Chain A
Amino acid sequence: MCVGKESFTTIPKWESSVRSGPKDMANILIADDEVALRFLLRETLVDEGYDVREASDGQEAIEKLTNHQFDIVILDYMMPEKTGIEVCEWLRKSDSINQNAPVILLTAKTQMKDREKASEAGISTYMAKPFSPFQLLDEIELLLNRQK
């Protein structure tokens, strides 16, 4: 899960073993207040053929989650209005169509405490910043497969 020191010294080779074949157009919500990071996520996902919607803060994420169906939800932890954890907590408690959608949390916080809090809130996968886009894609694939 963790990229670790390795990734800075040697560039990992990513085999597209999991991500083979055409995508079945899964819907993904990305919520992050950083424009640049959102851009990265968008580029990563759209090129793989996912359908992407964006939110720039927690409140907007909740609105999107209420109105649209998503297969995967990617939340940044530190967001204005509501944090990623808060959005996830809301989602699990709500009766939204996305109530049980897998949630990936992106965060710069890597302490054990934060991880525990995240799993309590119902986060499916926890990714520390900086993260590898390909690893993210692997995680998405994994979660999507699990759904099926």
Chain B
Amino acid sequence: MTKRRGLASRIALLIFVSLLFYSIVAASAYLVINQLQNTQDQEIITYGKTLKEIDQLESIYDELVLSFRGYIAFGTTHQLTIIEQAKMDFINQLKEQKAKTSQIQEFQKEKQQAIAEIEDSWKAYMKWVEACIQLKKEGKTEEIETLRVQVGTEALGNMNEDLARLYRYYEIQMDQAYQERETYNTWEYVVPVFILLGLLITGIFLVRFLRRDVVTPIEEIDKTMKQISAGEFAWIPENKRDDELGTLVKGINQMSSELELRQRELEDSNIELIAQRDMLETQNEEIMAQQIEQEETLYKLTNREQELEYITNYQEKLASYSDLDSFLHQSVSSLLRVLHYDAAIVGLRNTDDEDLGNVVFTTGYNNSHYPRSEQIPGLAKRAMTEGVELVRVRAVTEDEKAIHMELSKACDRYNPLQNDNKEVFGFMILTSYHQAEYQESRDRLVRGLVKQFSLAMYTQLLNDERRKQADELVRLNETLKKEQQHIEEQRDLIKQILNANHEGMLLCNSEGIIMYANPRMEKNLNECNLIGRHVTELWVQFFDTPNRTESGALTQLTEYLQGDNENFIQRFTWQDENQQKIYFEVYATVASNEGEEKSGYLFVFRDRTEEEKVDEMKNEVISVVSHELRTPLATVLGFMEILLHRELSPEKQQKYLETIYKEGKRLSQLLNDFLDLQRMQVGKQEYQFSKVNLLEILHDISEQWETGHSHKIKLTYDEESIFVEADEGQLSQVFHNLISNAVKYSPEADHIDVNITADEKMVRVEIKDYGLGIPADIGEKLFDKFYRVDNSDRRQIGGTGLGLAIVKEIVESHNGSISYRSILGQGSSFYVIVPRINS
């Protein structure tokens, strides 16, 4: 089977082929027109050329005529030559024309004829010309004149006429050629119009084709589909097409047939189902009848079952409750339900007093009837002592009447409660209002169930006791746990305290065996296994070596342990791994439990290294101070002694006294400075801060230094007022000391520069001298107490060595800092930087 092209490709092919066809037609039409136009153009050019040549021919002829006339008139031979030349030219030209016409004879007969005529006229004219020339040469002028009248004029006329005709002929030809060319131009416009028409026609064909072959079938399919959707069975008229539409139509028709088939089947089965349903209904009615019968039987059974279930339920309740209250509540109510009793009391026997008992549970009675009292009813007592059950039918009390209105009698049943050894431990009273008569038939059931109850209750009571004990145990256990935790916490706390302690600790028993050593102790001795050793052993190993011990340490320890000595304090010194000296003090105390004799000893190793260092520093300070004080004192006393014992000239006396005065003042200054510094360093100095203008202070100080001193103080600054938070007196002392140093250590210079610079937050004061300078290796030591640059030059200059230390203290108390820069031999700059406050 050949596969036909699809609808889409057919339409595409159709459009493509028609477009191709019109393109070819248009292209070939244009090619043809173009070719024709070119040919015509060529022809026009040829005619133009020919016209020009004819023009030339005429001009040659004219020249000849003119020359000829000239010769006739003037007889110059020169004219003859020109005539000869023109004659030749004309003949050549004419020959050429003739040759051209002979190539296309058929086409240009008229032209040929014209040329032949020109030839004839030419010959005639030339004949006359030659005759005239001959006559002229011979000098027969009259004859020339006669000849002209006879022949010349006519020949000339013929000649002119022939030439003109030829020219006209070509003119006409050219006009015709132009007209033809115009026609071709018109075609250029006509061809596209034809092509457009063609395309239009093709378009119309295409639309018609589509309408017939595509749209109409689709509309049909659509209509049919609508019908099918609406539930009808419809078919599309079959066509022979085997394209997409053909397939679609076939498919739809097949689907429609299928649907119809299914519908039929469904209808058939539906009929069958209705038949079955009818049958089932009949059966159902039968079953219903059977069911009613069964229900009746079941009802009978259920009553019995109910009773059994109550009993089972009751028995379950007997076993399943853990605490007494819920046991009683559940099991007694269950028991009442089984036996159809209405109220119950459960009491326990009081083993001490027969008359008393504990009512532990009541249910069903009016509250006031059987209150929970210790006094038990007489019948219950009897039932208990005799171990038998008693039944009493009595009149209903007033209270009971309030609830059970229409009843007048009640039946009480007194049951003793016995354990499996038949020992009575309590009683149970059951009361019925509905079955006032004693029913023997139920007696066995009642007895059996009550017996079960009493056994269960006995077990319950035992369990209860056991549970209480267990609870108590749990409680005790928890208390123990808490206590244990508490003890553990305390232990941890004590351990933490001991671990964190700076003192090493050793605890030993009364024999001197080490029981405990804290980590610090182990670290101190660099020894881990201390526990279990004897403390004297430790002393031998660590403290009784020649370079460590203080004599008699071991003896002292032994005496202490024996109780010969009450106090024990020893000091040790040794070197640690870094060769640093470590100082220890060991003291011991008796450890004893409350009220007991001593149980052991606690040795505490206290690290005294820091104390020792502080002591050392103190000693050093004292030694320095004493030296600093003794030196001026020696001078003062020395001179005084000399003054007292020697006879001296007044000048010498004066000089000595001056020295004494100066040294005395220095001594006093030294003491003041030292005390000031001491006060500052221990923080006892009281500063009175206020807002002060730094520049005012500096102005004041510089003025004081200007008068009576060798140096000028040059202040430079940008702002007139810079405020700082300061103690005015103390801050003044800072600058006094610095300027005083600057003056002292620049004996050769004549001025000191004080430069003040400030930004928004800080202000810096530079005190610059041009003096000795400070050696580079001194650094911060310069600010130490009593530090003075060791140089004999400087020793000439007095000073306490405390000035800069004081300055540093004060500046730092003002949240400031001090530093310096110096070049040896050129001078020093000291910088004081303090925070600025807003004005």
Contacts and interface: CB of A to CB of B under 8 A. Distances in A.
Interface in B469-510: none
Interface stretch (A86-94, A96-104, A129-137, A140-148): A129-137
A95 B723 CA distance: 66
A57 B795 contact: yes
A40 B795 contact: no
B796 A56 contact: yes
B645 A81 contact: no
A11 B518 CA distance: 64
B626 interface: yes
B642 interface: yes
> Which secondary structure dominates chain B's binding surface?
helix
A132 B638 contact: yes
A47 interface: yes
Interface stretch (B229-237, B301-309, B628-636, B736-744): B628-636
A130 B630 contact: yes
A108 B642 contact: no
Interface stretch (A28-36, A67-75, A117-125): A28-36
Given A78-B627, A133-B641, A37 B795 contact: no
A109 interface: yes
Contact of A44 (B636, B642, B652): B642
A138 interface: no
A134 B645 CA distance: 9
A12 to B, nearest CB: 8
Interface stretch (B656-664, B753-761, B762-770): B656-664
A133 B795 contact: no
Contact of B635 (A40, A78, A81): A40
A80 interface: yes
A80 B790 contact: yes
A40 B645 contact: no
A60 interface: yes
Nearest to A110: B626
Given A35-B796, A80-B795, A108-B631, A131 B790 contact: no
Interface residues of B, number: 30
Given A11-B644, A34-B795, A130-B633, A44 B627 contact: no
Contacts of A40: 634-635, 638-639, 642, 659
Interface in B599-658: 623, 626-627, 629-639, 641-642, 644-646, 652, 656
Contacts of A14: 645
Given A37-B634, A40-B638, A108 B627 contact: yes
Nearest to A133: B638
B781 to A, nearest CB: 14
A108 B633 CA distance: 10
B351 interface: no
Chain A CB within 10 A, most for which of B630, B633, B638: B638
Contacts of B579: none
B838 interface: no
B787 to A, nearest CB: 12
A130 B792 contact: no
Contact of B795 (A39, A43, A56, A129): A56
A34 B635 contact: yes
Contact of A133 (B629, B642, B791): B642
A5 to B, nearest CB: 13
A60 to B, nearest CB: 7
B302 to A, nearest CB: 121
A42 to B, nearest CB: 11
B633 A39 contact: no
Nearest to A107: B627
Nearest to A81: B790
Contact of B646 (A47, A57, A60, A106): A47
A129 B634 contact: yes
Contacts of B627: 78, 108-109, 129
Contacts of A47: 646
* Interface size grouping (class) on chain A: 20 to 34
Nearest to A8: B637
A108 B630 contact: yes
Nearest to A35: B796
B419 to A, nearest CB: 101
Nearest to B635: A36
Interface in B307-350: none
Contacts of B635: 34, 36-37, 39-40
Indicate the member of B629, B633, B644, B792 with the most A CB atoms within 10 Å. Answer: B792
Given A44-B638, A132-B638, A134-B641, A56 B659 contact: no
Nearest to A11: B644
A79 B636 CA distance: 20
Residue among A39, A78, A106, A108 with the most chain B CB within 10 A? A108
Nearest to B656: A43
B663 A36 contact: yes
A14 B641 CA distance: 10
Nearest to A80: B790
Contacts of B636: 130
Contacts of B795: 33-35, 56-57, 80
Contacts of B631: 34, 37, 108, 129
Contacts of A130: 630, 633-634, 636-638
A23 to B, nearest CB: 15
A127 to B, nearest CB: 10
A125 B336 CA distance: 127
Contacts of A129: 627, 630-631, 633-634
Nearest to A57: B792
Nearest to A77: B627
A43 B790 contact: no
A143 B611 CA distance: 45
Interface in B410-443: none
B638 A131 contact: yes
B657 to A, nearest CB: 13
A14 B627 CA distance: 27
A35 B792 CA distance: 10
A18 to B, nearest CB: 14
Interface string B153-169: 00000000000000000
A81 B795 CA distance: 12
Most buried by A among B627, B634, B792: B634
B745 to A, nearest CB: 15
Given A36-B662, A37-B635, A56 B792 contact: yes
Contacts of B638: 37, 40, 44, 130-133
Contacts of A108: 626-627, 629-631, 634
26 contacts: A11-B641, A14-B645, A34-B632, A35-B795, A36-B659, A36-B663, A40-B634, A40-B635, A40-B639, A43-B656, A44-B638, A47-B646, A57-B792, A80-B791, A80-B795, A81-B792, A129-B634, A130-B630, A130-B633, A130-B634, A130-B636, A131-B638, A132-B638, A132-B641, A133-B642, A134-B645
Instruction: Give the top 9 A-B pairs by smallest Cβ distance, nearest first.
Output: A80-B790, A130-B634, A108-B630, A108-B627, A56-B792, A33-B795, A129-B634, A129-B630, A36-B635
Given A43-B652, A80-B791, 12 more contacts: A11-B641, A35-B796, A36-B662, A44-B638, A56-B795, A56-B796, A57-B792, A106-B634, A108-B629, A109-B627, A131-B638, A133-B638
Interface of A: 7, 11, 14, 33-37, 39-40, 43-44, 47, 56-57, 60, 78, 80-81, 106, 108-109, 128-134
